[in-house]
Chains A and B, each alone.
Chain A
Amino acid sequence: MDVQTWTYLLVGLTFALYIGIAIWARAGSTGEFYVAGGGVPALANGMATAADWMSAASFISMAGIISFTGYDGSVYLMGWTGGYVLLALLLAPYLRKFGKFTVPDFVGDRYYSKTARLVALICAIFISFTYVCGQMRGVGVVFSRFLSVEIELGVIIGMTIVFFYAVLGGMKGITYTQVAQYCVLIFAFMVPAIFISLMMTGNPIPQIGFGSEVTGEGVFLLDKLDGLSQELGFAPYTDGSKGMVDIFFITMALMVGTAGLPHVIIRFYTVKKVSAARVSAFWALLFIAILYTTAPAVAVFARTNLLENVPNKPYAEAPAWIKSWEDAGLIAWLDKNDDGKIQYAPGKVFEGNPSFDEKKRGENGERLITNTPTEGPNELYVDRDIMVLANPEIANLPNWVVALVAAGGLAAALSTAAGLLLVISTSVAHDLVKKTFAPGIDEKKELLIARCAAGFAVVIAGYFGINPPGFVAEVVAFAFGLAASSFFPVIILGIFSTRMNREGAISGMITGIVFTTAYIVYFKFINPGANSVENWWFGISPEGIGTLGMLINFAVAFLVSGFTKSPPQDVVDMVESIREPEAEGEELAVSDH
């Protein structure tokens, strides 16, 4: 069977599975809709959390980014897993003990303030939307390449599926679907990695394979890759090229930012006990670590294959995957020196994203590009997002493996999108409508509003998936910076300081957000020309500035709270109570006041 038939088959089967689970586990009450009634086993919750956490970015993009940046890509590996440690040790158990539905709930109650709740709410919705749009684009990429349907149709199919099980099943449906999605995505990620590791190094474990010798060459794979990179004028793969300060700050911003992501925090409300929240955090990180330690190996394999097989070869003899991804618009070649060969070197090929001349082809059969070329010698444009998806083809693996990766990519994108949609609908129905505008509504009405909000969010996210704003990458940096500089400090202080009060928290959050936003907006939107290391403060790029925003938030919060009234006694009592040990046999009810 060919790749396309296999893909239809596997994607169809997995989609049928997800829908079946959603029907089986549909929600009947707001408690089940928001937090699955608080009754999901720790192991299942761990898997679901892992699927929730690992988005299309982790599955599709991360190994690709590492592949192109080498050591610099470590910021994502350490940032996204290290943030998880912060979450498990500093946030999750206490928020579970607190026992309400959402982060804005905690912020609102702990700081006895509607303003604080509203600020947290707006941040939660903004961060979630940014993320959902990214997932929808991932869905679109997979569909357009593997099922040769238009991106529009692909996104609509993805939207329909998510809509169906998020709106019908709520958290309960999503959780059990995510368990299935985790199994699909990890299988899909590991199978090609193991195959390729075995082919290149003779070792079936990719984590060890990429530190082994290349089969039959007697040289370590990483040393070979460093050599290949330098021959073509790139920095050695294992050294990278970013400044140490910047690496430090970006890693910290990613760690703190992910720890503050609302769709992951909410997962800890779905288990019955605080001890179960801790155990499920362990399972989740273990499941995440399987993919995260494999990704750097995949990155090395893919990079070595690319550098060995493509540069300085005639286009006419280029491997088939180059041409199929060129047809999908994610690889482009511009023969600057008219020698018919592909030159690959550092630097851009042309300005902006490729736009193709649809009418005619070049003399070597390549797609012609209408962008303005740069002066540099580089002729090959490769979209970083394709490395994981193209890897099985690059290594000539059987067709079913290629199809499996497509199904895995979809599982990763859909599971995260569903979790985020739930946060958006919960935020709107619970935090905004019920807690702020119409406290009197009954549960049935609240559930209806939650479902409408989820439906509405799917449609907007779908729109942005079809018409991705040109600034998606910029906005993602924004989401992490914002989570780091807003949520994280107020939650930490809310738990670990009984003295922190409303005035301190609100002024801290606002200065943190305003500072971070101003820095990012200046360098990304107002004056992108100045976005380089000479102009950055202390050498910190906009991606890492959330860390400084967070420090400012902490400082301002302490300063202001020192000069204002202590929080009222009932709030102090609440903080004391979430620090207490859990009584034996105690099961926390998920209370809705």
Chain B
Amino acid sequence: MADDQTASNRAYWRANLKWVGILMTIWFIVSYGCGILFVKQLNAIEMGGFKLGFWFAQQGSIYVFVILIAIYVKVMNGLDKKYGAKKS
């Protein structure tokens, strides 16, 4: 039993790391990518009255951050359920 539990905990941790990795990559792309590194290129595109790079730096990145945490909450609740230890 104890070994099963350890294996299940390992799998939980790996799934956790995978999701955190994915979400942090998106985090990096929207803020440092769109908002800073490629801001000049994106500014050539206009969206309504916004230059796109400027919009990402002052608006878009923040919206994405909120969505990222929402996804994280949902995914982790699912993982908790899937791998959750039974109360001993």
- The tally of residues in A whose CB lies under 8 Å from a CB in B reads 50
Q: Does A580 contact B (CB under 8 A)?
A: yes
When each residue 23-39 of chain B gets 1 if its CB lies under 8 Å from chain A and 0 otherwise, what string results?
11001000110011101
Known: A244-B36, A281-B69. A584 touches B51 (CB 8 A): no
Chain A residues whose C-beta falls within 8 Å of the C-beta of B23 in the assembled complex? 85, 89
Distance in angstroms from B49 CB to nearest chain A CB is 3
Q: Which of A169-177, A220-228, A426-434 contacts B (4 or more CB under 8 A)?
A: A220-228
How far, in angstroms, from A583 to B23 measured CA to CA in the complex? 24
How far, in angstroms, from A78 to B55 measured CA to CA in the complex? 12
How far, in angstroms, from A568 to B48 measured CA to CA in the complex? 59
When each residue 213-248 of chain A gets 1 if its CB lies under 8 Å from chain B and 0 otherwise, what string results?
100000011110000000000000011000010011
Q: Does A293 contact B (CB under 8 A)?
A: yes
Asked if B79 contacts A581 (CB within 8 A), the reply is yes
Asked if B61 contacts A78 (CB within 8 A), the reply is yes
Chain B residues whose C-beta falls within 8 Å of the C-beta of A111 in the assembled complex? none
In chain B, positions 46-88 with a C-beta closer than 8 Å to chain A are 47-51, 54-55, 57-59, 61-63, 65-66, 68-70, 72-73, 76-77, 79-81, 83-87
Asked if B63 contacts A289 (CB within 8 A), the reply is yes
Q: Does A490 contact B (CB under 8 A)?
A: no
Q: Does A88 contact B (CB under 8 A)?
A: yes
How far, in angstroms, from A210 to B51 measured CA to CA in the complex? 12
Asked if B57 contacts A74 (CB within 8 A), the reply is yes
Q: Does B9 contact A (CB under 8 A)?
A: yes
Distance in angstroms from B31 CB to nearest chain A CB is 5
Asked if A244 contacts B80 (CB within 8 A), the reply is no
Asked if A77 contacts B69 (CB within 8 A), the reply is no
Interface secondary structure of B, over-half rule: helix
Distance in angstroms from A249 CB to nearest chain B CB is 10
Chain A residues whose C-beta falls within 8 Å of the C-beta of B83 in the assembled complex? 581
Residue of B12, B24, B62, B87 near A584 (CB, 8 A) is B87
Known: A579-B13, A583-B85. A282 touches B59 (CB 8 A): no
Minimal Cβ-Cβ distance residue in B for A586: B87
Chain A residues whose C-beta falls within 8 Å of the C-beta of B16 in the assembled complex? 579
Q: Does B45 contact A (CB under 8 A)?
A: no
Chain B residues whose C-beta falls within 8 Å of the C-beta of A581 in the assembled complex? 9, 12, 79-80, 83-85
Asked if B61 contacts A81 (CB within 8 A), the reply is yes
Chain B residues whose C-beta falls within 8 Å of the C-beta of A289 in the assembled complex? 62-63, 65-66
Asked if A251 contacts B69 (CB within 8 A), the reply is no
Asked if A248 contacts B27 (CB within 8 A), the reply is no
Chain B residues whose C-beta falls within 8 Å of the C-beta of A78 in the assembled complex? 31, 35, 57, 61-62
Known: A81-B61, A251-B31. A580 touches B12 (CB 8 A): yes
Chain A residues whose C-beta falls within 8 Å of the C-beta of B87 in the assembled complex? 583-586
When each residue 54-97 of chain A gets 1 if its CB lies under 8 Å from chain B and 0 otherwise, what string results?
00000000000010000101100110011011001110010000
Asked if A580 contacts B85 (CB within 8 A), the reply is yes
Minimal Cβ-Cβ distance residue in B for A220: B49
Known: A77-B57, A212-B48. A285 touches B80 (CB 8 A): no
Q: Does A278 contact B (CB under 8 A)?
A: yes
Minimal Cβ-Cβ distance residue in A for B32: A248
B residues whose Cβ falls under 8 Å from a Cβ of A: 9, 12-13, 16, 20, 23-24, 27, 31-32, 35-37, 39, 43, 47-51, 54-55, 57-59, 61-63, 65-66, 68-70, 72-73, 76-77, 79-81, 83-87
* Sample of 15 A–B contacts (CB below 8 Å): A74-B58, A78-B31, A78-B62, A84-B65, A85-B24, A85-B27, A89-B24, A211-B47, A211-B55, A212-B48, A221-B49, A251-B32, A285-B65, A581-B9, A584-B84
**4 closest A-B pairs by CB:** A220-B49, A74-B57, A211-B49, A296-B58
